[in-house]
Structure 1
C-alpha cells in the first residue's frame, strides 16, 4: 500500500466515518415506497467526509460503511450497491481540492460546485452502475433495478443537496479564514 500514503488522521477519519455511516444508514433512514430502497441520510455525511478527507477516504468510508451495514442489518452484503457507495464517495472526494473546505471560505460558487459534483456522482452511480451491476451479479430484472436506482439516486441527490450542503457550510464555518485574527489595540 505504498502508493496510498494515508495519514493517521485520515485512517482514523475512515474508521469513524464508516461507523457514523452505519449508524445513519441503520437508524436515520426513511422508509420509501420502492421495495428494498430507503431514503438515506448517510450519503450527506459521506459527502462531507469525502470533501474534508478526499477521494480515497470517501471511497473507503462508503465501501466499509455500506458493507458492514448490510452485513449487520441483513446478514449478507449487496455488493453492487456497496461498490456504488465507494464510487460516490470517491467521485465527490475528487472535488475536495477545488472546494478547499479547510480555507473556511465557502461561497456560492463552491456550494454550487459541490452540488454539481454530487449530482453527477450519484447519477453515474445510482442510475447506471448500480442497476447494471445488479443485473450482472444478481441477475435481477432490469425494470426493477432501474426503478430502485432511479429512486435511490434522486433521493440521495436531494438529501445530499440539503443536509450535505448544511453540513459543509457548518463545517466550513469552523475553519479559520486567512487574516481572521486581528490584534486588538
Structure 2
C-alpha cells in the first residue's frame, strides 16, 4: 500500500522540495518586526509542490523542510510550527485533483478553488493549531503566540495568494493542454 502512495517520483519530489524549502526559508525570509515571525515565500513553493505532487508530498515537504530549516539555522526544532507546515502542505495537496494543473489550464475557477483551500488551510493552521500547540507543548503565553500566529498566517495567505497563484499559473503554461495537439 505504501509503495503505491510513495512512488519514486514522489520521493524525489519530497527530497528536492524539502531542500528548496530550507534554502528559501533561509535566504528569502523577511522579518515582520514581531519576534520569531517572518514573511516566507517558502509556502508559495510548498503550494506549488503540493498541487503538482499531491497531499503526501506536500505534507512531507512541509515536515522535513521546516524541521531541517529549524535545526540547521536555529539549533533546535520548533515542533508546533513544523506540524503546521506539514498540515498546510498536506491540505494544499488535497486540491491537486480538483485543480488538475497537469491539464495545462489554470482557469479563474481553479484559481478561486486553490485560494479558498489555501486560505482555509493556513487560517486553521496558523490561527488555531500553531498557537494551541505552542501553549500545550512549550507553555508559551497565549497573547504572544496568537499574535505570532495571526502575523504569520496573514502574511502566508497573502504570499501564497499572490506568488503561489503566479507559480501555479506559470507551471500550467508549461503543460500541454488536452486536445491541443493535432495529428497531421
| Interval containing the TM-score (normalised by the shorter chain) | over 0.9
Q: Does 1:125 align with 2:125?
A: yes
| Cα pair distance change 1:141/1:64, threshold 3 Å | same
Question: After the TM superposition, which parts of structure 1 deviate over 3 Å for at least 4 consecutive aligned residues?
Answer: 1-4
Q: Distance in 2 between matches of 1:49 and 1:137?
A: 29
Q: Which runs of 5+ in 1 are unaligned?
A: none
Q: Does 1:14 align with 2:14?
A: yes
How many residues matched?
184
Aligned to 2:97: 97
Aligned to 1:45: 45
Alignment of 1:119-158 (within 5 A): 119-158=119-158
Q: Which runs of 5+ in 2 are unaligned?
A: none
Using the TM superposition, give the Cα deviation of residue 3 of structure 1 relative to its aligned residue in structure 2, in angstroms. 7.0
Q: Distance in 2 between matches of 1:182 and 1:3?
A: 36
Of 73-82 and 2-11, deviating more is: 2-11
Q: Distance in 1 between matches of 2:2 and 2:96?
A: 22
Q: Distance in 2 between matches of 1:28 and 1:3?
A: 35
Using the TM superposition, give the Cα deviation of residue 179 of structure 1 relative to its aligned residue in structure 2, in angstroms. 1.6
Q: SS of the residue aligned with 1:106?
A: coil
CA-atom RMSD, angstroms? 1.1
Q: SS of the residue aligned with 2:34?
A: coil
Q: State the TM-score, normalized to the length of structure 1.
A: 0.97
Using the TM superposition, give the Cα deviation of residue 183 of structure 1 relative to its aligned residue in structure 2, in angstroms. 4.2
Using the TM superposition, give the Cα deviation of residue 5 of structure 1 relative to its aligned residue in structure 2, in angstroms. 2.6
Q: Distance in 1 between matches of 2:47 and 2:179?
A: 28
Q: SS of the residue aligned with 1:180?
A: coil
Q: SS of the residue aligned with 1:179?
A: coil
Q: State the TM-score, normalized to the length of structure 2.
A: 0.97
